[in-house]
Structures are given as structure tokens and as C-alpha cells.
Amino acid sequence: MVYFLVVGLFAFFVVYLLIPVTKRIAIQLGVVDQPNARKIHRAPIPLSGGLAIYIGAMLTLFLFFETTSLHFVLAWGGFILLSLGLVDDWFKSQGKDFPAWPKLIGQVGSAVFAYLLGIRFFGLGEFWTGGGLYVFPAWLSLLATVFWIVGFINMINFLDGMDGLAGGITAISSMTLFTISILRGQQDVAILAVIIIGASLAFLKHNFHPASVFLGDAGSMFLGYTIGVTSLYGAMKSATVATFIIIILALGVPVFDTIQVILTRIRAGSPIYKADRRHVHHRLLSNGLTQRQAVMVIYAMGIGFSILSLLLFLYIG
């Protein structure tokens, strides 16, 4: 456990020290989030947290983890998403809209890249035991892998709408993935999870209300990609239905928030990709909670989902 602590602390301090540097760069380039009627903040905020997280996470991964295909998936797949996100963030800072389709192509491409390097769904076992594994044909394996990874990219992106929210929920969910991987004896997954925890907590030091830096689309897409790849690399690549439920619960806040937002947008006849104020955090604010109170309520929800996930894991153990 000392090794995991060292890795997590290294990721934390690298990201923590990089954020002031990336903030200055973002301010100089004008890559800041301008307030508007839909936004909660009232002053321009640098959109540079994702760059610091990417550099810190990759540096820690390559220093503390023997090089595998996972390194290249996260480094290059993550770089694609980071680059597209930075372009999108720049457009937004200029009051312009970046088309959705380049981001979607990049998301699908990064997921296909993971699939080609062996991080994929291989099949599905029986509900509890995993016996009688049904091996997916190539097309179904690819489809499931892309759906899973692209889903989490957008779930974290959707969730990133309040100071401290995406970073805190990512840390809570990653702690659950870390615990499950330790219990399963998956040290490589545990290392990756603890890197995400350290990087997310370092970002949270600068992002908790009142935030001085935001993730931007670059950061939220990279974190979502990392969570999707980590869960797939560990528990989900040849999962039972029970394993699927465990992971969904571990990542419960972004999953269920995304589901309810999509359903309400469909019911209202709005495009599912168009930003609005239907997320859980917006609903809590409209009910009179402060930003800090709303975030703490959602943290409590995340911890509750994590406890349910771990209890189910131990039950089927």
C-alpha cells in the first residue's frame, strides 16, 4: 500500500504544481470560460485544468508502471481528446461554437484505438458466476467497447457544470475502482486508479468553490476516457451481468445523471447534446442550495453508490 500512496502523491504534486503554469498560459492565450445566462460563475475562469491533469497523469504512469499497451492507449487516445477539447475550449472562449461532429469522431477514434490495442469487451458470462462465457464476435466487441468508452467520455463532460463536481466524483469513483482492483489482485488497474485519484484531488484543490480553474472539455473528456478505459481494462473486459452492475454503481452519479438528462431532453423535444440546466446540480441549485451544499449532496450520492457497489462485489465475492 505504501507504493500506491507514493504513486498517488506523486501524481497529486505534479498536477498541483502544473496548474498555476497552465492557468497563466490559458490566460495569455485567452482560453477562459466566459460567464453567461446558463453558467453559474460570474467571472472568466481559465480552461486549463485538463492539460495539467493529462501531463501529470501520463508522467506518473510512464514513471511508475511498466510500459504496456495501456500507456499508448491513454497517451495517444487521451492526446486526441485533449487536443480536440482544447480547440473546443478556445472556440467557446471566443464566443463561438465548435461543431459537435469532430469531437464525436475523435471520441470514437480514441475508443477504436483502445480496441485495436486489446482493451475491449471480450464477452459476457452468466449472471453471477461468469461460467459459460459468451465470446463476442468482433463486430459486437467493437461496438460494445466504443459505446462504453464514448459513453463515459460524455458522462463526465455532462457532469462538469459546477465547481468541484467532476473532479470530486471522478476521485470517488476511482477510489471504488481502486478498492475493487485491490480485492481482485489487479495491481496494474489499482495503480492507474490511484493516479486518477491523485490527479483529481490536486485539481480539486484549485477547482473547489470558488474555482480558479476549470477542466474544460479537454479535461472532462480525458477524465471520462481514462475512467472508461480503466474500468474496461480491469473488471469489464470479460464481465458477468453482476460485474456490469457493480461498475455502473461505482460510477453511479455520472451514469444516472446522464440517463435522466437524456430522458428529460427527449421528453421536452430538445437535442440530447444541447447544454441546458436539467442536470442534478442545476436542480439542487434551483431548490435553494448553495454551490457547496449542492456539491456535497452529490458527493454523498457518489459515496452511497460506491458503498452499494462494494457491498454487491463482496456479496458475489
Q: 199 and 174 in contact (C-beta within 8 Å)?
A: no
Question: What are the DSSP E strand ranges found in the chain?
Answer: 32-33, 45-46, 123-124, 134-135, 238-239
- Tell me: pLDDT of 30 over 70: yes
The string of pLDDT tens digits covering residues 240-287 is 667 778 888 888 888 888 888 888 888 877 777 666 677 788 788 888
Query: Across residues 213-226, what is the average pLDDT?
Result: 94
- Tell me: pLDDT of 20 over 70: yes
Which amino acid would we find at residue 274?
K
Instruction: Please tell me the distance from the alpha carbon of residue 258 to that of residue 277, in angstroms, as a whole number.
Output: 12
Cell, residue 230: 480503466
DSSP codes joined into one string, 7-53: HHHHHHHHHHHHHHHHHHHHHHHT-EE---SS-S-SS-EE--HHHHH
- Tell me what percent of the residues of the chain surpass a pLDDT of 70: 90
Q: How confident is the model at residue 125 (pLDDT cuts 50, 70, 90)?
A: low
Q: What are the boundaries of each domain within the chain?
A: 2-316
Q: Worst-scoring range by mean pLDDT, 60-69, 123-132, 176-185, 194-203?
A: 123-132
Query: Across residues 231-248, what is the average pLDDT?
Result: 72
pLDDT attached to residue 35: 65
Q: 187 and 209 in contact (C-beta within 8 Å)?
A: no
Average pLDDT value for the chain? 86
Highest averaged pLDDT of the listed ranges 15-29, 126-140, 262-276, 283-297? 15-29
Using alpha carbons only, how large is the chain's radius of gyration in Å?
Answer: 19
Q: Worst-scoring range by mean pLDDT, 12-26, 157-171, 179-193, 231-245?
A: 231-245
pLDDT attached to residue 291: 87
pLDDT attached to residue 38: 52
- For cell 498560459, the residue is 25
The number of beta carbons lying within 10 Å of the beta carbon of residue 166 is: 29
The string of pLDDT tens digits covering residues 31-82 is 888 765 555 555 678 999 999 999 999 999 999 888 888 899 999 999 999 9
- Tell me what percent of the residues of the chain surpass a pLDDT of 90: 48
Q: How confident is the model at residue 316 (pLDDT cuts 50, 70, 90)?
A: confident
Instruction: Please tell me the distance from the alpha carbon of residue 193 to that of residue 223, in angstroms, as a whole number.
Output: 11
The number of beta carbons lying within 10 Å of the beta carbon of residue 235 is: 22
pLDDT attached to residue 96: 83
Q: How many separate helices (H) and strands (E) can be counted in the chain?
A: 13, 5
- Tell me: pLDDT of 235 over 80: no
Instruction: Please tell me the distance from the alpha carbon of residue 56 to that of residue 84, in angstroms, as a whole number.
Output: 19
Highest averaged pLDDT of the listed ranges 17-26, 59-68, 120-129? 17-26
